[in-house]
Structure 1
Amino acid sequence: MYLIWDGAKDLAGNVLHLRTRFVTNKRLDGQVVVITGANTGIGRETALQLTSLGAKVIMGCRDLNRAGSAADYIKANNKNAVLSVIQLDLSSLESVREFAKKVSETESRIDILINNAGIAGIPEQRTTDGFEMHFGTNHLGHFLLTLLLLPLLRSAPKARVVSVSSSFYLVGKIHFDNINLSDGAYTNWKAYNQSKLANVLFSRELAKRLGANSTISTYSLHPGVIKTDIGRNYRPYVVKGVYNMIGRLLFLTPRMGAQTSLYCALEDSIENKSGFYYQDCKRFELSPIAMDDTVAERLWDLSVDLVNLEEHLNLPSS
């Protein structure tokens, strides 16, 4: 019921143009930002805005052709943009490790990591490593990437990890007894919701394990209901013309959808408020399932095992 009410308010805010636009005078000259899935949608718009503030942006993208087009778009809108494109397939742990290695070879620090990439609504599939595709891509790929890049994040004076989740975490459940939703348990919504809850739990648990005195702050967020490519797998259920009309009326543009990502990456007032969840550039209270420390710790330990994380990269529970 809460999800329905939350979604109704979300759409009403879109229609009535009540969404918050984040404004800052901050400069990011000399800072390094890594954004996954920066080739389209809110990832591309986030990259554009951060380059406009002077940051060097590393775009981690699976499709290099689309990434190249996105880089051209950003440079057309900001001729001074400093960009780097490195291939990153979050559904392959080998690709995640290779990406982190390449970034580590060229950069001495990372100031902002935005775990933006995501998939939704696909038919049942497995990642290269055999995991359910939503869980493997949306959660495990970003889990491993963040921990591999942690040394570079620690090298920055202050760093932030921003994870793009969804309000659908509210109806998510971590299916520990069947994490890959095998043997007929799979539905695309169940898989997506599980992965988005995992994003929130990971962000909270990361903040907890880093500790109150860490120079790294973590945030998760719901970007809003946005007309982007992530919804392409749901379009067969809706007549194309109707979908486009609904999209124009009810959905945010990618630029407006990027505002909460920018807020979490840049807002000074939340610098030391780590582990919280944001929506429309405001902090929102999490549901009980997302506040369950036992579930968060269990998910962390499971993720460590599934990605075969090196012992020295793991963070002990506080």
Structure 2
Amino acid sequence: MDSRTIVLTGVTRGFGRETVELLIRERPQDHYVVLARRGGERLAAELAQATGASAVTGVDCDLASLAEIRRAVEEILRGLDTGYLPPLGGYLGNAGLTVTTTEKRTTDGYEMTFGVNVLSHYLLVRELLPRFTGPGWIVLTSSDCHFGQFRYTLGATPPPRWETPERLATPRAGGAREAGRAYATSKLGVIYLAHALARRLPESVGVYSYNPALVAGTDFFRHAPGPVRGVLNGFFQLQRFLGRGMTPQQAGARLAETILTGLTARTGSYLDRGRHVPSSPESHDEAREEELWREAARLADADRRAERADILDE
């Protein structure tokens, strides 16, 4: 198979890092573009050294900044236009975060969880969309917490509460419980994005939402206070002991295997650790999906409209 460019987010640490190292080892002929908040070139060098592959490029990109996302996309497009990068064939949107308050803001003033977990992937994929060539794939990491049921979360995460995208993007007062709800809601939004994308992509490019299940031993809760972080990490370790979770190595191997051999389900599918299973009934709502696509465009382009207005006022 010809070499392709694969764009990846959320591969600095944890199971994302394990996934990309396995992908590079199995498909060294592809060119991997890794986006990292800072030190993208350093991350690329680390991955190249770990895998023995040279076709790894790092791009600095803060996913909490719309301007940074656009700058990163422009860099990728220049590489595609000049032939430095082969045709675009894949995108892994693994980046995501959870914070301890719904008051935290992105650079553009949006609620942090929604801004990074939903808006950033929308903008990256939208800007790259015309350049995908088949056979291609887009994988967006979701979570089974979007079901909002005790058997998936054991009460650790409140169920999602969908509202208008404008409301979800608005910072608001709320502590750890509301922040957990914002996380679950953002993962529901990821599935809505996948469904909206499935209606817009060519037949030769598939899009999937992927649930890695509970992954213990990661730095996922690095934003939480020390005592809270200890409790949550302990909870994840317990779930792994009970057979409900995986190590980063196990989760990374499962996701890499799914990408390399298992993306055969119908586009728009929800993959639970590689298996095509139904997502929640609430996650199938075309009206919400299309509203999110439209409103994400408005929110993501707000900074550019403000720039134009400033220019006209000068």
- What TM-score comes out, normalization by structure 1 length? 0.78
Note closer, same or farther for the CA distance 1:243–1:276 as it changes in structure 2 (3 Å cut). Answer: closer
Deviation for aligned residue 1:83: 0.8
Q: 2:181 aligns with which of 175, 190, 202?
A: 190
> What do the CA deviations read for 1:234-292 (whole angstroms, capped 9, x no partner)?
46345749946963854522222124432442225616x10000112101101111011
- Which of 84, 91, 98 pairs up with 1:113? 91
Structure 1: unaligned runs, 5 residues or longer: 1-27, 311-318
SS at match of 1:158: strand
Structure 1 contact 33–112 (Cα < 8 Å) conserved: yes
CA distance in 2, matches of 1:71, 1:173: 38
Aligned residue number for residue 222 of structure 1: 211
Q: What is the aligned-residue identity percentage?
A: 25
Seen in structure 2, the aligned counterparts of structure 1 residues 106 and 240 have a Cα distance that, compared at 3 Å, is: same
Q: Does 1:159 align with 2:150?
A: no
- Take 2:204 and 2:2, find their aligned partners in 1: how far apart are those partners? 19
User: Unmatched 5+ residue regions in structure 2?
Assistant: 82-86, 149-159, 305-314
Q: Find out whether 1:308 has 2:301 as its counterpart.
A: yes
Instruction: Tell me: CA distance 1:74–1:175, structure 2 relative to 1, closer, same or farther (3 Å).
Output: same
1:1-318 → structure 2 map (5 Å cutoff): 30-52=3-25, 53-54=27-28, 55-64=30-39, 67=40, 70-108=43-81, 109-123=87-101, 124-153=103-132, 156-171=133-148, 172-176=160-164, 178-180=167-169, 182-184=171-173, 187-210=178-201, 214-226=203-215, 227-234=217-224, 236-238=226-228, 240=230, 243=233, 247=237, 250=241, 251-267=245-261, 270=264, 273-308=266-301
CA spacing shift, 1:216–1:197, aligned 2, 3 Å:
same
* Alpha carbons 1:220, 1:276 under 8 Å: kept: yes
Query: Amino acid of the residue matched to residue 14 of structure 2?
Result: G
For residues 63-120 of structure 1, what are the alpha-carbon distances to aligned partners after superposition, in whole Å with 9 as ceiling and x for unaligned?
21xx455444433432134210001111111111111000000125211100111111
Contact 1:173 1:197 in 2 (8 A): no
Return closer, same or farther for 1:166/1:239 CA change in 2, 3 Å cut-off: closer
**Does the residue aligned with 2:134 lie in a helix, a strand or coil?**
coil
Cα RMSD (Å): 2.6
- The residue type equivalent to 1:233 in the other structure is H
- The one-letter amino acid of 1:86's match is V
Residue type of the alignment partner of 1:174: W
8 Å CA contact 2:197–2:207 kept in 1: the answer is: yes
State the alpha-carbon separation in 2 of the partners of residues 159 and 283 from structure 1. Answer: 18
**Structure 2 vs 1, CA of residues 221 and 260 (structure 1 numbering), >3 Å: closer, same or farther?**
farther
Aligned partners of 2:48, 2:64: CA distance in 1, in Å?
28
Aligned equivalents of 2:233, 2:72: Cα separation in 1: 36
The answer to whether the Cα contact below 8 Å between 1:61 and 1:88 also exists between their aligned partners in 2 is yes
| Worse overlay, 47-56 or 233-242 | 233-242
CA shift, 1:168, in A, is: 1.4
Query: Could you tell which deviates more after superposition, 105-114 or 261-270?
Result: 261-270
SS in structure 1 at match of 2:169: coil
